[in-house]
Amino acid sequence: MELSHIEHIGIAVKSLEESIPYYEEVLGLACYAIEEVPDQKVKTAFFRIGQTKLELLESTDPEGPIGKFIEKKGEGVHHIAFAVRQLEQALEETAARGVQLIDQVPRKGAEGLHIAFLHPKSTRGILTEFCEDKQH
């Protein structure tokens, strides 16, 4: 398996509107996209830092994964996403090493990426996402 870089860090927030000013005004980053991902019941806001992005996640449904996460743990880092070259192959190799997958097959994430999550029980507590950009 080949990981090329940290594609993004996912951060759960209660409100994009209330969170974006911190990233823009204090950290001096620019939000370049806001996108709803109905599949994951979230609205996302993206910032770029070098090759890496920050993905703020606001829940659109209290029963969705981010809604439940915030209820349990509050706002904070939700997941780390690694860019991989061959997503299907990376999933196969990971599963073969006994890691529990949340997604057995890739699905569509924000920004047209193909994504899959690994279960935090198998990754030392970090919800881990693999992303493959098929357009590049």
- CA neighbor of 24 nearest in space, from 49, 47, 1: 47
Residue 40 CB, nearest approach to Zn ion (Å)? 9
Q: How far apart are CA 112 and CA 107, in angstroms?
A: 10
Rg (CA), the chain: 15
| Contacts (CB under 5 A) with Zn ion, residues 4-23 | 10
Residue 81 CB, nearest approach to Zn ion (Å)? 4
- Judged by CB under 5 A, does residue 81 bind Zn ion? yes
Identity of the residue, 14 or 114, whose beta carbon is nearer to Zn ion in the bound complex: 114
Exposure of 34 by Cβ count < 10 A (0-12 exposed, 13-18 middle, 19+ buried)?
A: middle
Identity of the residue, 10 or 106, whose beta carbon is nearer to Zn ion in the bound complex: 10
Q: How far apart are CA 54 and CA 81, in angstroms?
A: 10
Identity of the residue, 60 or 96, whose beta carbon is nearer to Zn ion in the bound complex: 60
Residue 46 CB, nearest approach to Zn ion (Å)? 10
Identity of the residue, 8 or 96, whose beta carbon is nearer to Zn ion in the bound complex: 8
Are the C-beta atoms of 78 and 66 separated by less than 8 Å? yes
**Residues engaged in binding Zn ion (CB under 5 A):** 10, 81, 129
